[in-house]
C-alpha cells in the first residue's frame, strides 16, 4: 500500500523556493545595478564632468584649508609619483617595496606663517679690546665693541651679534616645532575625495603636550588621488547577519527536503558560518535547528546570491539528535 503524500507541504515548499529564488534574483540584480551605478559615477568624475557642488568640493579653499583635488587613475598617479622622486627618496622607496605599500594619493601644500613677538630677553655688553701683540702699539677703536643677544619668550628664536658695528657676523638660530594636521574626506556616494591641511607652530609644555603659538595661512595646496570603486564587496573578516532562505537535506531522513531561514553571522572571503531553523512540516524529527559552514561561489569576482553549505541538523525529536546536513541557501538581504 503506497503512502499518500499531502499536497500542502509540497505547495509550501514550492512557494518557499519561488520566494527564495525571487529574493536572490532581486538581491543579485540590485547589487549588480549598484556596482554599475558606482562605475558610471566614477567614469563621469574621472573625466572631470562634475556638478557645481562637486566642483566646490574639489577647488582650493584657503579659508577652510582644503586643497585643490583631482581624481586620476592609479596608473596616472604612479606616473606622477615616479616623476617627482629624487635620490633622497631611495630609502623610503626601499621601505615601500619591502612592505608592499600601494600609492593612494599625493599632496603638496604651501603655507605662510607671519608672527610678531613682544618681550623676550636681550643683552648688550661692551667687549674689552684684546691686548695687542708684544711690541705693537695700542690703537684706540673708533667705537667700543658691543655684543648683542636676543631670545624670544618661547626660547625658539635666538639672535647673536658679536659686534653691532660689523655687518655680516650676525648669527640667527631657530628651533621651532610645527604640528601638521591632515584630514582626508570621501564622498559617501561617489569616488571624489578632498584633503584639509593645517599647520600650526607649537611649543612643548614639558608634560608631553603642545601649546599652539600661531596658525599658518594656507596659500596653495594640491591633492591628487586614485579611488576607483571596488568590483565587489571587500574581502577580509566581516561580522553581521546576512539573511538567507534555506533548502536542506539530511540524506536518510523520512523527508528528503526541509525549508527554512538562516543567517550567516561571520564571513571570511567566500567562506562563512551560518545558523538557522528548518522544517519538513511533517514531524518533530524533520524540524529543528541548523548550523553549517557556507561557501559563496562567484563569477568574474562577483558573488552570486547562491550559498552552498554543509553542517548538522538538530531535530526537535526522534532518537537521532544530530544529523548531517547539506544546504542550498538564497541570499535575500
Phi and psi for 216 in degrees, rounded to 5? -80, 150
pTM over the 0.75 mark:
no
Please choose, from the candidates 13, 12, 15, 16, the residue with its C-alpha nearest in 3D space to the C-alpha of residue 245. Answer: 16
Contact 160, 146 (CB under 8 A): no
Rounded to the nearest 5 degrees, what angle is found at the Cα of 319, between the Cα atoms of 315 and 324? 50
Distance CA 286, CA 323 (A): 10
Specify the pairing of strand 145-151 against strand 258-268. unpaired
Read off the pLDDT of residues 305-320 as tens digits, 9 standing for 90 and up. Answer: 889 999 999 998 877 7
Q: What is the pLDDT at residue 4?
A: 44
Residue 18 backbone dihedrals phi, psi, to 5 degrees: -65, -40
Q: What is the pLDDT of residue 5?
A: 43
Q: Burial, 221: exposed, middle or buried (Cβ in 10 Å; 0-12, 13-18, 19+)?
A: buried
Q: What is the pLDDT along the chain (333 residues), one digit of tens a residue?
A: 334 445 555 555 566 566 656 665 555 555 666 777 888 899 999 999 999 999 999 999 999 999 999 999 999 999 999 999 888 899 999 999 999 999 999 999 999 988 887 888 889 888 887 777 776 666 666 678 899 999 988 888 899 999 888 899 999 998 889 999 999 999 988 899 999 999 999 988 888 889 898 999 999 999 999 999 876 555 567 888 889 999 998 877 777 888 999 999 998 888 999 999 999 888 888 899 999 999 998 877 677 788 999 999 999 887 778 889 999 998 887
Residue 319 CA to its chain's centroid (Å): 53
- The pLDDT assigned to 3 comes to 41
Amino acid at each position: 500500500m503506497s503512502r499518500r503524500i499531502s499536497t500542502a507541504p509540497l505547495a509550501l515548499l514550492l512557494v518557499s523556493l519561488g520566494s527564495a529564488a525571487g529574493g536572490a534574483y532581486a538581491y543579485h540584480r540590485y547589487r549588480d545595478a549598484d556596482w554599475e551605478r558606482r562605475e558610471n559615477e566614477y567614469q563621469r568624475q574621472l573625466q572631470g564632468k562634475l556638478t557645481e557642488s562637486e566642483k566646490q568640493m574639489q577647488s582650493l579653499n584657503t579659508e577652510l584649508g582644503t586643497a585643490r583635488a583631482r581624481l586620476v587613475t592609479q596608473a596616472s598617479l604612479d606616473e606622477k609619483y615616479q616623476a617627482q622622486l629624487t635620490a633622497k627618496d631611495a630609502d623610503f622607496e626601499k621601505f615601500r617595496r619591502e612592505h608592499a605599500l600601494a600609492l593612494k594619493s599625493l599632496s603638496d601644500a604651501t603655507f605662510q606663517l607671519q608672527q610678531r613677538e613682544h618681550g623676550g630677553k636681550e643683552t648688550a655688553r661692551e667687549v674689552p679690546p684684546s691686548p695687542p701683540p708684544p711690541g705693537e702699539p695700542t690703537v684706540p677703536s673708533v667705537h667700543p665693541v658691543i655684543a648683542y643677544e636676543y631670545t624670544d619668550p618661547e626660547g625658539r628664536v635666538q639672535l647673536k651679534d658679536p659686534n653691532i658695528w660689523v655687518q655680516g657676523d650676525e648669527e640667527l638660530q631657530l628651533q621651532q616645532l610645527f604640528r601638521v594636521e591632515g584630514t582626508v574626506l570621501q564622498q559617501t556616494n561617489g569616488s571624489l575625495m578632498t584633503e584639509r591641511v593645517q599647520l600650526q607652530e607649537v611649543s612643548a609644555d614639558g608634560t608631553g603636550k603642545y601649546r599652539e603659538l600661531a596658525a599658518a595661512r594656507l596659500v596653495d595646496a594640491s591633492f591628487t588621488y586614485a579611488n576607483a570603486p571596488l568590483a565587489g564587496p571587500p574581502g577580509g573578516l566581516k561580522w553581521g547577519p546576512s539573511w538567507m532562505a534555506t533548502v536542506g537535506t539530511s540524506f536518510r531522513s523520512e523527508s528528503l527536503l526541509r525549508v527554512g531561514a538562516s543567517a550567516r553571522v561571520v564571513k571570511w572571503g567566500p567562506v562563512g558560518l551560518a545558523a538557522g531553523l528548518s522544517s519538513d512540516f511533517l514531524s518533530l524529527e524533520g524540524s529543528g535547528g541548523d548550523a553549517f559552514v557556507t561557501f559563496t561561489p562567484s563569477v568574474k569576482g562577483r558573488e552570486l546570491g547562491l550559498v552552498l553549505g554543509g553542517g548538522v541538523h538538530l531535530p526537535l525529536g526522534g532518537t537521532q539528535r544530530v544529523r548531517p546536513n547539506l544546504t542550498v541557501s538564497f541570499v535575500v538581504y
